[in-house]
Structures are given as structure tokens and as C-alpha cells.
Amino acid sequence: MTLTEILPAVRQLQLLDKIRLIRILAEELDVEQNIFPFEPYKVYYLATPYNVFGAGKALMDAMKAGS
């Protein structure tokens, strides 16, 4: 069965049934596939604007140039 065939029936479901369907599909994904790309206990560094001096000025300049 294809998604195109299923969608009309899914759209007719009541809200609680749609939520149950989402949960069922999410649980199946969790069991069937390793979709979580992060490794447990590994540190991932995320770039942030903290301690990046001049970033605020660059943002303000970009905002002024856009208006």
C-alpha cells in the first residue's frame, strides 16, 4: 500500500486516533531503524554566539542593511 492510498483514510481519523497513529509509527521507527545519529556519552560541540565578539555588531549591520 502506498502513502497516496493511505492518506485519505488517515485524514478522516479523529484527532486521538491520529495521535495514536503517530505514536505507533514512531515506535516502529525506533525499533526497526537506528535513526538517532548521535552516539551516547559523546560530547558534541555546538557553535554559539557566546564569546564571539563582534557577532552582535555584524548582526546589527546586516539588519540595518536589510531595512
- Asked if 37 and 43 touch (Cβ cutoff 8 Å), the reply is no
User: pLDDT higher for 15 or 67?
Assistant: 15
Cα–Cα distance for residue pair 22/20, rounded to 1 Å: 5
Domain that holds residue 12: 3-66
pLDDT given at position 55: 80
pLDDT given at position 52: 79
The amino acid occupying position 54 is G
Q: Provide the domain count of the chain.
A: 1
* pLDDT tens-digit map of 1-18: 899 999 999 999 999 999
pLDDT given at position 7: 94
pLDDT given at position 50: 79
pLDDT given at position 2: 92
> What sections of the chain are H helices per DSSP?
3-11, 15-32, 55-66
